[in-house]
Amino acid sequence: MEYFLQQLVNGITLGSIYGLIAIGYTMVYGIIGMINFAHGDIFMIGAFIAIISFLIFGLTSIALPFILLFVLLISMLFTACYGWTVEKLAYKPLRGSFRLAPLISALGMSIVLQNFVQVAQGARTKAIHPIITGKFEFFKESDFVVIVSHLQIFMVLLTIALMAGFTFLITKTDLGRAQRACEQDKTMASLLGINVDRTISVTFIIGSSLASVAGMMFVLYYGVIDFYIGFLAGIKAFTAAVLGGIGSLPGAMLGGLIIGLIEVMWSGYISSEYKDVAAFSVLIVTLIFFPTGLLGKPEIEKV
Amino acid sequence: MLDIKNIQTFYGKIQALRDVSIKVNSGEIVSLIGANGAGKSTLLMTVSGINKPREGVIIFEGKNIEKEEPHKIVKLGISQSPEGRRIFSKLTVEENLKLGSNIYENGRNYLNDIKEIFELFPVLSDRKTQRGGTLSGGEQQMLAIGRALMARPKMLLLDEPSLGIAPKLVNQIFVAIKNINKEKKVTIFLVEQNAKKALELADRAYVLVNGKVTIQGTGQELLKNQDIQAAYLEGGG
């Protein structure tokens, strides 16, 4: 039981990272119907900006909470610029082209970003010391002590806060309404005076900033990154988005959580070598029974 | 107010509009009638900036708009209730209406505008929190017109407001269109297959055949025109 609780805590933490990345996949798919395969690398860029900022701020004597806040804001800002630029350079010129074109462009962008970071930052792994330390211990009398680190609490709380803010943005604000309108019918949205291009840009900016937060968490949690981390994390988050129902925002959060839990539970109880196989197998089985994902709805158009 | 001059619009190699010139004066109701595929909707989409004309100019209040982006044309004062209504089916009635007022900068007061729409179409008020997709055809049409009005347009483009709607509701919608014109002082450019209704309502009217304007005149003149009677008014029209 204690062991299970420990895995649960670890799984939710990992799921937070996947969920935050998955939102970017699902939002972009919702609005322009394309899988942004460069999104995993945007997450990697976010992680690099975070690690560089941590190193710079580490030289100063600013208090830790402020460092965290600054790093968060800086990596969100810079990563958002990357996301925005990728959209303008690689996807916007292809809008109205055949469906596969932006997809191929996205794969190309993914390679470009990886190689860019490899050249600019070197191929060796980058590491930092743990920044948020400290932990709570539960069930101290039993043979298995459940550890919940401050970092895990920080990550889950930050994810919850971001998800709440994001949900508010999508459901209650003008921007969110415009976004949902563009998802359904871009021509009609423009007939109502909505600037569709700008709405799409904002989608990329929001998705990239959330991915950068995931990148910063990755840095804090694992302490080691390289230019290639975006690939597997991106594929996992994409799996999470599809599992939850691509295009559905609550689905992306749920999917991230499930993938995180499966991976950790599988590692904890069976074997950590096959954790990726487990995550992808669950996707396949789910899609057999729910072809549109857990929370995705089949498209029924009333004409 | 709106001056469409010698417009030629193409879909690829197919020419949809041939040298179309139409004038709409401030305060008027102008109807454009024609059969299916004559190019009526293409013309409205060209005015709204969705289709770009290959040749010709469109002047709205002294400003060339034929190359303008759609969302900027809305800001200039032209909004459209398009063919097939194109309601955002997953959004609520209220959200659909709020979207219509998206062109204002922050701080505008759309609650009052929504109240006016509800006075015009009381049934929408009862359906406020329902999703757009659950409305009947007639209700969706009212919502589409209301949504277009939320932009506080000077000119309203209406594409087939009677299409696929129960006859009783069609009358109600045409009464509302007249009200919008007379009380809200919105100029109306109406495109219709229901020629009789459209001509009765119109100050002036045009007939579009295969992308070309063939006949024009006041609504009353066209109602009496023998060719029009034969082609559009007899046999149910």
Interface residue B99 vs chain A (CB under 8 A)? yes
Q: What is the pLDDT of residues B37-55, one digit of tens each?
A: 889 999 999 999 999 999 9
Q: Which chain A residues are Cβ-neighbours of B80 within 8 angstroms? A: 191
Rounded CA-CA distance A125/B200 in Å is 77
Residue contact A191–B69, C-beta within 8 A = no
Residue B235 has pLDDT above 70, yes or no: no
Please state the φ and ψ torsions of residue B82, each to the nearest 5 degrees.
-80, 170
Given a contact cutoff of 8 angstroms between Cβ atoms, the answer to whether B207 and B192 are in contact is: no
Q: A–B: how many Cβ contacts below 8 A? A: 68
Task: Give me the mean pLDDT over the A117-142 stretch.
Answer: 91
Torsion of CA B135, B139, B143, B146, to 10 degrees: -160
Structural domain containing residue B116: 2-233
A184: chain B residues, CB-CB within 8 Å: 88-91
Question: In A, which residues are within 8 Å of B109 by CB distance?
Answer: none
pLDDT of residue B6: 95
Q: How far apart are alpha carbons B159 and B193 in whole angstroms?
A: 9
Search chain A and give the residue with CA nearest B105. Answer: A174
At B112, is the pLDDT very low, low, confident or very high (cuts 50, 70, 90)? confident
Of A181, A194, A196, Cβ closest to residue B91: A181
Q: Is the pLDDT of residue A260 over 60?
A: yes
- Provide the pLDDT for residue A302: 46
A194 touches chain B (CB under 8 A): yes
SS (H, E, C) chain B: CEEEEEEEEEECCEEEEEEEEEEECCCCEEEEECCCCCCHHHHHHHHCCCCCCCEEEEEECCEECCCCCHHHHHHHCEEEECCCCCCCCCCEHHHHHHHHCCCCCCCCCHHHHHHHHHHHCHHHHHCCCCEHHHCCHHHHHHHHHHHHHCCCCCEEEEECCCCCCCHHHHHHHHHHHHHHHHCCCCEEEEEECCHHHHHHHCCEEEEEECCEEEEEEEHHHHHHCHHHHHHHHCCCC
pLDDT over 50 (residue A133): yes
* Distance separating alpha carbons of residues A4 and A29, to the nearest angstrom: 35
Decide if pLDDT at A303 tops 50. no
Q: What residue segments make up the domains of chain A, in order of their start?
A: 2-228
Q: Say yes or no for a CB contact (<8 Å) between B89 and A174.
A: no
Alpha-carbon gap, residue A216 to B146, rounded angstroms:
46
Closest chain B residue to A188, measured at CA: B86
User: Nearest 10 degrees: CA dihedral of A168, A170, A174, A175?
Assistant: 120
Q: Which chain A residue has its CA at the smallest distance from B136's CA?
A: A302
Top residue of B46, B88, B98 to mutate, by most chain A CBs within 10 Å, is B88
Are residues A177 and B147, on separate chains, in Cβ contact within 8 Å?
no
From A206-215, A248-257, B108-117, B176-185, the region with the lowest mean pLDDT: B108-117
Residue A293 CA to residue A149 CA, distance in Å, equals 33
Structural domains counted in chain B:
1
pLDDT digits (tens, 9 = 90+) for A49-83: 999 999 999 888 889 999 999 999 999 999 999 99
Q: C-alpha angle with apex A255: A253 to A256, nearest 5 degrees?
A: 65
Contacts of B171 (CB under 8 A, 6+ apart): none
Angle A174-184/A2-32 helices, nearest 10 degrees?
70
Which single residue is written with the structure tokens 């299970």?
A4
What's the rounded mean pLDDT across residues A224-235? 94
B133 close contact with A: CB closer than 8 A: yes
Q: What are phi and psi of B187, to 5 degrees?
A: -70, 140
- Do A194 and B102 count as a contact with CB atoms less than 8 A apart? yes
pLDDT > 70 fraction of chain B, expressed in percent and rounded: 95
Averaged pLDDT, B82-86 = 93
Interchain proximity B95–A177, CB inside 8 Å:
yes
Contact A189 B86 (CB under 8 A): no
**Pairing mode, strands B204-209 and B212-218:** antiparallel
Torsion, Cα A200 A201 A203 A204, to 10 degrees, reads 130
Nearest to B98 among A177, A185, A187 (CB): A177
pLDDT recorded at residue B193 = 87
**What residues pair up with B2 in beta bridges, in sequence order?**
B24, B60
Q: Does B233 touch chain A (CB under 8 A)?
A: no
**Percent of chain A topping pLDDT 70:** 98
CB-neighbour burial class of residue A229 (10 A; exposed 0-12, middle 13-18, buried 19+): buried
Residue B198 reports pLDDT greater than 70: yes
Cβ-Cβ contacts under 8 Å, B90 against chain A: 180, 184
Q: Count CB-CB contacts under 10 A for residue A5.
A: 14
Of the candidates A191, A195, A196, the beta carbon closest to that of B82 is on A191
Predicted confidence band of residue A177 (pLDDT cuts 50, 70, 90): very high
Q: How confident is the model at residue A299 (pLDDT cuts 50, 70, 90)?
A: low
As given in the structure block, the two tokens for residue B138 are 């007639």
B57-80 per-position pLDDT tens digit: 999 999 999 999 999 999 999 999
DSSP, residue by residue, chain A: -HHHHHHHHHHHHHHHHHHHHHHHHHHHHHHHS---TTHHHHHHHHHHHHHHHHHHHHTS---HHHHHHHHHHHHHHHHHHHHHHHIIIIIGGGTTS-THHHHHHHHHHHHHHHHHHHHHH-SS-EE---SS--EEEE-TTSSS-EEEEHHHHHHHHHHHHHHHHHHHHHHHSHHHHHHHHHHH-HHHHHHTT--HHHHHHHHHHHHHHHHHHHHHHHHHHH-EE-TTHHHHHHHHHHHHHHHH-TT-HHHHHHHHHHHHHHHHHHHHHT-GGGHHHHHHHHHHHHHHH-TT-SS--------
- What CATH number is given to the structural domain containing B116? 3.40.50.300
Chain B: residue whose CA lies nearest to A195: B71
Chain B interface includes A298 (CB < 8 A) = no
Residue found by looking up tokens 């710079």 in the block: A56
The reply to whether residue B75 touches residue A178, judged by beta carbons under 8 angstroms, is: no
Mean pLDDT, all residues of chain B: 90
Question: pLDDT tens across B5-47, in order?
Answer: 999 999 988 999 999 999 999 999 999 998 888 899 999 999 9
Residue contact A192–B79, C-beta within 8 A = yes
Residue B106: partners with Cβ closer than 8 Å, 6 or more residues away: none
**Per the CB < 8 Å rule, is A302 touching B133?**
yes
Chain B hits for A247, CB-CB cut-off 8 Å, are: none
Tell me, yes or no, if A195 comes closer than 8 A to chain B by beta carbon.
yes
In contact, A95 and A103? CB cutoff 8 Å? no
Q: Are A302 and B99 a contacting pair at CB < 8 A?
A: no
Instruction: Give yes or no for a contact between B142 and B123, defined as CB atoms under 8 angstroms apart.
Output: yes
Radius of gyration of the CA atoms of chain B, in A: 17
A189 inside 8 A of chain B by CB: yes
Structure tokens at A162: 């971001």
B9 CB within 8 Å of a chain A CB: no
**For chain A, what is the mean pLDDT?**
92
**A243-262 mean pLDDT:** 93
